Structure 1
Amino acid sequence: MEGGELSDDTGAMERVSAQSTGAPVEWEADVVLRDGTVAHVRPITPDDAEGVRHFHSLQSAESIYLRFFAPLRELSDRDIHRFTHVDHHDRVALVATLDSEIIGIGRYDRIDPTSAEVAFNISDHFQGKGIGSVMLEHLAAIAQEMGINRFVAEVLPQNRKMLTVFKEAGYEVTHHIEDGVVEVSFDISPTEQSKAVQLSREHRAEARSMHTILFPERVAIIGASRREESIGALVMRNILAAGYQGELYPIHRVADSIQGLRAYPTIHDVPEPVDLAIVVVPAAQAIDVVKDCGKAGVKALLVLSAGFAEAGEEGVRLQEKLRRRVRRAGMRIVGPNSFGLINNDPTVRLNATLASVIPESGRLGLFAQSGALGVAVLASAARRGLGISVFASAGNRVDVSGNDLMQYWIDDQETDTVGLYLESMGNPRKFSRIARALAAVKPVVVVSSGVSSFAAPPGHRTRVTNVPPQAFRALLRQAGVIRVENVHQLFDVAQLTLHQPLPKGDRVAIVGNSDALGALSASACLSWGLKVTHGPVSLQPQASAEEFAAALDAAFADPEVDSVVAAFIPPLVTPDEDVHEAVRNIVADYEKPCVATFLGMRGVGDGLSYEQGGVRRSVPAYSMPEDGIRALNAVTRYALWRQRDRGTQVAPVGIDRLRAESLIEGHLAASPEGRALTREEARELLSAYGIRVWPAVEVSGVDAAVAAATELTFPVILKSTSPVVRHQPGLVGVRGDLVDAEAVRDAHSSLTQRLGPLGADRFVVQRMAVPGVSCVIRASEDPLFGPVVSFSVAGPPTELLGDVAHRIPPLTDVDVTDLIDGVKAAPLLSGHRGAAPVHRAALADLIARLSVLADDHPELSSVELNPVNAWTGGVDVLGAEVVVRPALVRKDPGRRRMT
């Protein structure tokens, strides 16, 4: 085996070593540091002995003293053994590595059942990158898994950096000084503040890493070529033609110059550190290129080369080797098989794509995954006259994804609207929370047909999902994302959000010069749920520009109008320009959006442009009214989402997490592969989260049924447990309102006679609930989405019509309300046809408890509460089924980690 091959497999060897020592592999994580570089966090192993010794030898005398309270210039063999041999339970140690070299060590040692002493040692050469914060975050998450809820530490007063790490973590820290040492202690249970700190740090780090990629001062093209038809030559021409403002270095083994620029034999020969290396060499050579870039200190890579996972099994192996090598070197990578990236900022002017003609500078940020779609997206933007700020193609998305770009766009002052073309999604939970943060400040428009293993293009790393497409659509709605079906609709929406204010409501005025267009516009509004409160006003085809202006002004001035639709055919007498001027002049006087249909026009252009408050705007034109009204409806729903109270995260009282965790661990210890819990086991587990399941007694004969009914107290219900009849319409296997022993005997006899031939004569007895609406509440753990909570009204709405609503935890109280209202059968809960309305607060509390249970315990493969009887006095959980399985590693765990 060649040395390079051995080096590339170091990450895999480290994982094998970790497994052999019993270290949980799921504790390993790649994390983005404060400066945008990447470090690897993993459990320490005995094989790290020499690495720890080397790490210690490079530390300054001051750092050694601050860590050990003594001038330990060398560590003894006994110390090294103690540091590297841990049990991964009472004693846990993590190391942060860069290119396999240890740059940070964090550990805790349990001192009693619920507390542990924590300590850190960060390399002098990597101070200020946030390594200590990352280690604390990961150790705290691991400690909680082990039943530890409090950390203590001893710190010298002069060790201000470590005191700051504790103070700024978001925990309630207490400290006092004894014998010249600061004794620190704090509860490590997640708080709103600590979670906010964690997410804020993740956001800043990932946004910073994207800034490095998008604003490179020095770019190298590895694979630059003197052959004009080559990809390397094309990319270089495009960069030069766009007027790139930084330093460009072509890399070529023998050429002295390429396209007028001095060429360098290798990346190591470049005189200055390179920020971004563009790789256009054959896939088989890419690994060696990455190695060289890592050694040369390159910060990020853009790999345009194809031939990786999209090319077959060998390409899959090559791509994984590429990913490991890049991560180990601490770099970020866009691609491979990327179409490239664009930054139109005048300080950069970078067109590192295969497209020679790109849209002008503007305020639309675009992300696409495949190259073919990148071409379509850029071409469509240019045709519409929409300028872009940033464009990126992730290619096979081995690292940088839409989530990373969204982190950057949250704070980017040059981008007002974001458009994403998603062919697959690697981390929906993270997408949801980042998209929600981005949508709170600017519109996010997503083109996606759904998320499934069938939709994922070759080369994309993703997991199989079992959730229905409705769950993905619900995730987007929950995050405030505008979902559209194709690229054309994306730009229909984008040209409206970029050039018009957001509507304040859903009331629409329609003004035009055609009865047919007016009627068509009104019908489209009604079909989308918009309210036509003004018009349709239809002028005569020969109307003057002044008449057009007067009609539009009346529509905009109407206080019952939030948006205006202007639909015109070419007038018979008035010149088109006069109509355009009338429209733009009136629109400029109001802070209300307008969509226009001028037959033959599409997009935004000078003919409909105007100045408003120092901002250059334009009335977006659509070829047909339906296109504009579809876009207006999408933007209106988004604007109403922006106006809504987001709610607060649900936090039901009376929850015993440790008890539930103990029960789950006990069941899995007895059944390592997992299993369905018995009725009583399910009741006990759910009770830890305040979910009370009504008892149901299995009976094997009529006498047992009578005895059970007497014990439960009358009236009771007798029902078959057989799946043969359980979901049959009507009351095939049920007898209710059994008020005495004789009624029970009659019901048992009747059901036995009827169901015996079907083998369905197995029964349970349960108290009779008061009349209400029967509901189904379910939580399931999906390999891709993590926990998914579903709600429906039982019976035909669920079983025949698929009328089920979904949400992704963690939920807010507003999410819970939307979940309940998200089914078409929701009116049944509000007193349909004179019935008493159900107790909504009790139903919401039950859903909240189940969502928290599912979010807390990934070992719960599925939990189904069925039926749940919702009535005016509360909710009764009459049945529950729980299945436990070994936990999947969630894509978005409670600590920072790259996917």
Structure 2
Amino acid sequence: MAEVTGGDAAATSPVPAPAYPAGWEADVVLRDGSTTHVRPIRPSDAEALQAFHVAQSERSTYLRFFANLDRLSDRDLARFTVVDHADRVALVAVTADDEIIGVARYDRIAPDAAEVAFNIADAHHGRGLGSVLLEHLAAAARERGVRRFTAEVLPQNGRMIAVFREAGYAVRQSLEDGVVTVEFDIDPTGRSLAVMADREHRAEARSVQGLLSARSVVVVGSPDVARGSMDDLLARRVVADLEAGADGDLGLHVVALPPDDPDHLDLPGGPGRAPGVATQHWPDVASVPGPVELAVVAVPAAEAVAAVRALARLQVRGVVILSDGFAETGPEGLALQRALLRTAHAAGMRVVGPSSYGVLSSTGGRVLNASLAADPPPPGTIGLFCQSAPMAVALLGSVRRRRLGLSHFVSAGHRADVSGNDLMQFWRDDDATEVVGLYLESIGNPRKFSRVARRLAAVKPVVVVTAGRSGQVVPPGHAVRATRAPRRTLEEVMRQSGVIRVENTHQMLEVAQVLALQPLPTGRRVAIVASSAPMAALVAEAAAAVGLVVGGQAAIVREDAEDEALASTLASLYEDPAVDVVVAVHVPTVGHSQVRVSRALAAVAAGSGRTTVACMLGLHGATDDLTAEDDDGRRWTIPAYTTPEDAVLALGQAERYSAWRSADRGTAVQPAGVDTRAARRLVAARLAGVTPGDVVDLSPAETAELLACAGVAVLESVPVATPDEAVEAAHRIGWPVALKTTVPALRHRADLGGVRLDVHDEAELRADVEQVLALAQGHPLEPGRAPLEVQRMAPLGAACVVRSVEDPLFGPVLSFGLSGDASDLLGDISYAVPPLTDVDVAELVRAARAAPRLFGYRGLPRLDVDALEDVIARLSVLADDLPELRSLELNPVVVSEHGATVLGARAQLGTADRADGSRRALPT
């Protein structure tokens, strides 16, 4: 049954020169893991639309038009392809050859309502095109002020009704004259966003699975490059590795490399062809018989687009670009890279690279080494993602030296398409991967990273290294938006996501090995086994520094201890119910063998449930000396570290992750009385006619109206300029009052005389007005603002500042601090990135070092923190839902014993430009 619906609104006269909304173009991943291109329809699509229509079955045509139409008339073709991209909008999904495989359109029937129609090619049912087009059409409609879709559907067209309902919208339907009328609001809801995220997860995981499970590979070289050139060496290296490393049947096609050249098997580390590898050589891609699942391309950058276009006929699911020469070379290279992505995505392919080190998969008894690693690590349970090709060399070498095993390895190079987000989507459901490690040179979409990483970290540990702590240093070749967010923002994103952030790749593998080889810690209580008391003291100090709790005396196992004493000491320690984790350090000083110590330790630790790490002379990583079986026959290995500090640091990271994973992460904040739809209407009205990029300052009244949509009230503030006006305002709003200057240099500065509090009578107020006006002389006023404000006195309490700033890279960034020098001079400010849970909000407040002032510091009464958290939650929802909200400051928010009062608010708006929007889209 077709994913279609029928009925268009009445035709309107064509617009002569419609403005083409290029921002609506997007590449998307479909349900089966393949990709396609979605864009607005063009008048030049008339012939392609006719071909699409003619190819449809009679049933599909009937469901779409409620009639059998063999061909579309010229009038219909003009009506369907010439649109104004405002009241009449149409989107098409197209292939690499610009063949239309899906159409979605709306026609406005009211200021905020439009009638929609969909038509999906019969040959492409079941790929999720209908749901993708609905997402993109709804996003375009909201941009044009439409908030409600209606459709007329024949009762037998259950597939289309299901597309609407399964998208997470509240669908209302009625039946009249044999036609079902469907109606639903298209504003994003918690359910619709969750549905989109789940579909995105399944599609992206499927696309990565297609890369890593390929059993047929084509390696594309270039006959025009010089022998021994970099592209030539890359192609030959990967051919040798594919032939040598395959474990099981692998069909390998080699293009433009001579089959009789011995050099392609004589590269360093190339042991020759493994059994089961069937290699065939071809002069060009056109000669290769299809289908082929994976392509590896090592050609000059100028030839890459043509090579990828030629691969389309082979139904390739993914292409690994080993070559460089793209975005890192400048604007021309970036344009070439974007052309490469457009070509690949339109043909259904994901792209790994450019400048990739390749991909490696070793699960299910099969090995796929489509990488430049001649001697890859053995199979295991760690999944690694690395952007940098040079870093991949060091990283894989370190994994081998530790004798750790990998399930998968992917080097994304410049991360033009496939990213760490994609791999995390895949690894969440991959039974072969138990621990994830990410080396990230840049993060192109931190908001998506946060939500994807949080879902993954809830079930599997994720260890992350970033090139630079702030994320603000972007290597050449990485297309990343600029950010103005504080340097601590990335750290907060990581913390909220539950990932384990470490300083370098050495620490990443140190942490990964304990997580891969040992059970998760059940608590912080640590026991120490050492060969000397001074060593035990050193370990105890290091353990306390990482947050572990050292209780009781350390167990000292002397170098000359008898076997029975050794066994008895270890058994007693592991039987202690007050022990959660164990650190063992044994460093002989006179060269005695420690094998008996390591084996005894491994035997008692196996199956004990106590996470154990060890530092023993000469041992590093996973070793046989620290491996033993438990009573059920399962093998356990205690990871070995070079120094006690390394061992304790890794153990502390594992314990913190375990605590995060077992803790209540809360529920998404959804305060009652938040009307984001009304807020959107206000924002849209205020931004009407504003030039993109311009910033609009809201007046105090407009700011108060916007905050009222979120259920946040701002205490009335009356602008005044003279003593008489101040007295009149005080009589109206009621005594006592506060008097404040609006001069930026003195605003909120009671210590400098810019604020006078608890003014009880007319005489006092008149005197204060004269003094504050005199104090403000010489300071510039903001244009259009009165020099003073009079406000009713709020209950006494602690003054706080809550801000939200829309960042081009991170989206909304919330900050919280207590007013005064702690925030202004010492930077005592905490940060969070919405969407937030109630636990996130509570942690945001408590993360400020001055927060004890809110909780009864030095005998003061405990303030109403719940009311403060409610204000923050409402602000977070507003900021998350309104990308146009460039900045919003509540200053001050006075938290008293009963309630929190907002005394001042400032807001700025601008056109929306958020990376992680309400539609699925790949990088372009």
TM-score computed with the length of structure 1 as normaliser: 0.93
2:442–2:467: 8 Å Cα contact kept in structure 1?
Answer: no
2:221–2:257: 8 Å Cα contact kept in structure 1?
Answer: no
Q: Equivalent residue for 1:204?
A: 202
Q: Equivalent residue for 2:711?
A: 690
In structure 2, the gaps of 5 or more residues are 1-13, 266-272, 274-278
2:18–2:85: 8 Å Cα contact kept in structure 1?
Answer: no
Q: Equivalent residue for 2:678?
A: 659
Alpha-carbon distance in 1 for matches of 2:453, 2:737:
49
Q: Equivalent residue for 2:6?
A: none
Alpha-carbon distance in 2 for matches of 1:304, 1:467:
33
Paired residue type of 1:735: R
1:430–1:892: 8 Å Cα contact kept in structure 2?
Answer: yes
Q: Equivalent residue for 1:412?
A: 430
The Cα shift of 1:113 comes to 4.9
Point out the more displaced range, 148-157 or 341-350: 148-157
1:450–1:469: 8 Å Cα contact kept in structure 2?
Answer: no
Q: Equivalent residue for 2:524?
A: 506
Q: Equivalent of 1:637, from 656, 676, 681? A: 656
Q: Equivalent residue for 1:779?
A: 804
Alpha-carbon distance in 2 for matches of 1:827, 1:417:
37
Paired residue type of 1:748: V
1:224–1:233: 8 Å Cα contact kept in structure 2?
Answer: no
Q: Equivalent residue for 1:237?
A: 240
Q: Equivalent residue for 1:648?
A: 667
Q: Equivalent residue for 1:98?
A: 95
Paired residue type of 1:201: R
Alpha-carbon distance in 2 for matches of 1:352, 1:636:
36
1:542–1:571: 8 Å Cα contact kept in structure 2?
Answer: no
Q: Equivalent residue for 1:54?
A: 51
The Cα shift of 1:178 comes to 4.2
Pick closer, same or farther for the CA change 1:417–1:520 going to 2, 3 Å: same
Alpha-carbon distance in 2 for matches of 1:860, 1:19:
34
Q: Deviations over 1:395-448 (max 9, x none)?
A: 111111111111110111111000000010111111111111111110000001
Asked if 1:132 corresponds to 2:130, the answer is: yes
1:510–1:534: 8 Å Cα contact kept in structure 2?
Answer: no
Q: Equivalent residue for 2:151?
A: 153
Pick closer, same or farther for the CA change 1:754–1:70 going to 2, 3 Å: closer
3-state SS of 1:40 partner: strand
List aligned pairs for 1:240-389, cutoff 5 A.
240-243=243-246, 245-252=249-256, 261-389=279-407
1:545–1:574: 8 Å Cα contact kept in structure 2?
Answer: no
Pick closer, same or farther for the CA change 1:306–1:502 going to 2, 3 Å: same
Q: Equivalent residue for 2:828?
A: 803
Q: Equivalent residue for 2:41?
A: 44
3-state SS of 1:725 partner: coil
Q: Deviations over 1:107-138 (max 9, x none)?
A: 23344455443321101121111101111222
Pick closer, same or farther for the CA change 1:62–1:489 going to 2, 3 Å: same
Pick closer, same or farther for the CA change 1:147–1:282 going to 2, 3 Å: closer
Q: Deviations over 1:589-610 (max 9, x none)?
A: 4112011121332212111012
Q: Equivalent of 1:194, from 184, 187, 192? A: 192
3-state SS of 1:230 partner: helix
Point out the more displaced range, 226-235 or 261-270: 226-235
Q: Deviations over 1:370-400 (max 9, x none)?
A: 1111111101111111111100110111111
1:787–1:858: 8 Å Cα contact kept in structure 2?
Answer: yes
The Cα shift of 1:36 comes to 1.3
Pick closer, same or farther for the CA change 1:312–1:554 going to 2, 3 Å: same
The Cα shift of 1:173 comes to 4.0
Pick closer, same or farther for the CA change 1:763–1:136 going to 2, 3 Å: same
Q: Equivalent residue for 1:28?
A: 25
Asked if 1:861 corresponds to 2:886, the answer is: yes
Alpha-carbon distance in 2 for matches of 1:314, 1:759:
47
The Cα shift of 1:845 comes to 1.0
2:290–2:313: 8 Å Cα contact kept in structure 1?
Answer: no
Q: Equivalent residue for 1:536?
A: 554
The alignment covers a number of residue pairs equal to 882
The Cα shift of 1:149 comes to 4.5
Alpha-carbon distance in 2 for matches of 1:609, 1:19:
76
Asked if 1:448 corresponds to 2:453, the answer is: no
Alpha-carbon distance in 2 for matches of 1:192, 1:887:
20
Q: Equivalent residue for 1:478?
A: 496
2:222–2:298: 8 Å Cα contact kept in structure 1?
Answer: yes
Q: Equivalent of 2:919, from 888, 895, 899? A: 895
3-state SS of 1:50 partner: helix
Instruction: Please tell me the root mean square deviation across aligned C-alpha atoms, in Å.
Output: 2.5
The Cα shift of 1:849 comes to 0.8
1:300–1:331: 8 Å Cα contact kept in structure 2?
Answer: yes
Point out the more displaced range, 668-677 or 30-39: 668-677
Alpha-carbon distance in 1 for matches of 2:574, 2:750:
54
Q: Equivalent residue for 2:5?
A: none
2:95–2:101: 8 Å Cα contact kept in structure 1?
Answer: yes
3-state SS of 1:469 partner: coil
Q: Equivalent of 1:836, from 861, 883, 894? A: 861
3-state SS of 1:129 partner: coil
Alpha-carbon distance in 1 for matches of 2:403, 2:902:
57
The Cα shift of 1:195 comes to 2.7
Paired residue type of 1:596: A
The Cα shift of 1:616 comes to 2.7
Alpha-carbon distance in 2 for matches of 1:251, 1:870:
71
Q: Deviations over 1:508-547 (max 9, x none)?
A: 2222222222111211222222221243333444333433
Alpha-carbon distance in 2 for matches of 1:336, 1:589:
45
Pick closer, same or farther for the CA change 1:141–1:224 going to 2, 3 Å: closer
Asked if 1:64 corresponds to 2:58, the answer is: no
Pick closer, same or farther for the CA change 1:408–1:589 going to 2, 3 Å: closer
Asked if 1:220 corresponds to 2:218, the answer is: yes
2:603–2:629: 8 Å Cα contact kept in structure 1?
Answer: no
The Cα shift of 1:552 comes to 3.0
List aligned pairs for 1:448-467, cutoff 5 A.
448-450=466-468, 455-467=473-485
Alpha-carbon distance in 2 for matches of 1:317, 1:20:
27
Alpha-carbon distance in 1 for matches of 2:441, 2:15:
35
Alpha-carbon distance in 2 for matches of 1:869, 1:698:
20
2:599–2:627: 8 Å Cα contact kept in structure 1?
Answer: no
The Cα shift of 1:779 comes to 0.7
TM-score computed with the length of structure 2 as normaliser: 0.91
1:18–1:25: 8 Å Cα contact kept in structure 2?
Answer: no
Pick closer, same or farther for the CA change 1:121–1:585 going to 2, 3 Å: same
3-state SS of 1:710 partner: helix
The Cα shift of 1:463 comes to 0.5
